[in-house]
Amino acid sequence: MKPLIGISCCVKAFGIFATPNHAASDSYVRVVLGPVGGIPVLLPAAGEAMAPQILPRLDGLILTGSRSNVCPEFYAGPPHAEGTPEDLARDATTLPLIRAAIAAGVPLLAICRGFQELNVALGGSLDQRIQDLPGRIDHSTPADQPLPRIRVAKAHGLRLQPESLVAELAGRTELMVNSLHNQGIARLAPRLEAEAWAPDGTIEAVRVKDAPGFAYGVQWHPEYDWERDPVSRALFERFGAAAMACAGRRAGPSGQALAQAAE
């Protein structure tokens, strides 16, 4: 049995009536079917009642990237500049879901907005436009490149913590990544440990120090280039192995052999 992988959705207005739809990018569905090796389960932004009902049935959770930003009320930040996209329904769903998934040992991989949510869910805070801060670089979507390059082009380097997960996957202590974000971690949540940094000090990868299972976040977007980029692929494969092990444990004694084989 393949592991069931929850994928967080946003609420987006579609069509001529701007009807709210729960949506996640196809790139997350494809990466779950591909290197993760699971079955994608789209999780609507249906609020905090989701977590206790859905988590016992999931073997992994991907917190997706999205243009919208975590509402600053969740980290006691100043209001967003006018026009900044927010998604309160997503915040109300993902923040409790992240805490519950970590507590339950459900493997979790948080990407871009999801990475920012992971920090906020565990008590950290965000800078809202890091490109406006002194000494920082512009991490936002490159305006001078066409699709699909805009998503896969390497934008800056990272310094990786030696012996961290990303350094192990990369086999070195530096890495080039894409970059499509404005916000970034300001105060790191106490339960998180930084494992990668951009040249301006922006935190780009974190692990949950006390998590009973795989719980990792990256500020970049490995879901866009895993077909060409071996480190992106390896990150999803490692998450998939943790999800497979979780599925094996859930399956009981007959699943134990499966879990051990996957670990």
Ligand X SMILES: N[C@@H](CCC(=O)NCCCC(=O)O)C(=O)O
Closest CA to 77 of 133, 138, 128, 122: 128
- Closest to ligand X by CB, 59 vs 204, is 204
Contacts to ligand X from residues 244-263, by CB under 6 A: none
The distance of closest approach from Cβ of residue 197 to ligand X in the complex, given in angstroms and rounded to an integer, is 16
Residue 106 to residue 243: CA distance in whole angstroms: 8
User: Is residue 178 a contact point for ligand X (CB under 6 A)?
Assistant: no
The distance of closest approach from Cβ of residue 12 to ligand X in the complex, given in angstroms and rounded to an integer, is 12
Question: Contact 99/122 with Cβ under 8 angstroms?
Answer: yes
User: Is residue 119 a contact point for ligand X (CB under 6 A)?
Assistant: no
Taking residues 134 to 153 in sequence order and writing x for each that binds ligand X by CB under 6 A, - otherwise, the string is -------x---------x--
CA angle (10 as vertex; 117, 140 as ends), nearest 5: 60
Residue 39 to residue 89: CA distance in whole angstroms: 24
Contacts to ligand X from residues 45-84, by CB under 6 A: 65-69
The distance of closest approach from Cβ of residue 44 to ligand X in the complex, given in angstroms and rounded to an integer, is 18
Taking residues 96 to 115 in sequence order and writing x for each that binds ligand X by CB under 6 A, - otherwise, the string is ----------------xx--
Residues annotated as catalytic (active site), given as ranges: 112, 221, 223
Binding ligand X (rule: CB under 6 A), the pick from 24, 31, 158, 180 is 180
Number of residues forming the site for ligand X (CB under 6 A): 13
The distance of closest approach from Cβ of residue 151 to ligand X in the complex, given in angstroms and rounded to an integer, is 5
Closest CA to 130 of 74, 202, 69, 189: 202
- Closest to ligand X by CB, 39 vs 186, is 186
Helix (H, G, I), strand (E, B) or coil at 65: coil
User: Is residue 182 a contact point for ligand X (CB under 6 A)?
Assistant: yes
CA angle (33 as vertex; 27, 35 as ends), nearest 5: 90
Three-state helix/strand/coil letters over 132-189: HCCCCCCCCCCCCCCCCHHHHCCCEEEEECCCCHHHHHHCCCEEEECCCCCCEECCCC
- Closest to ligand X by CB, 151 vs 187, is 151
Binding ligand X (rule: CB under 6 A), the pick from 12, 90, 181, 191 is 181
- Closest to ligand X by CB, 69 vs 164, is 69
Question: Contact 66/10 with Cβ under 8 angstroms?
Answer: yes
Q: Is the dihedral of CA 65, 47, 85, 134 positive or negative?
A: negative
Report the interface residues with ligand X, using CB under 6 A: 65-69, 112-113, 141, 151, 180-183
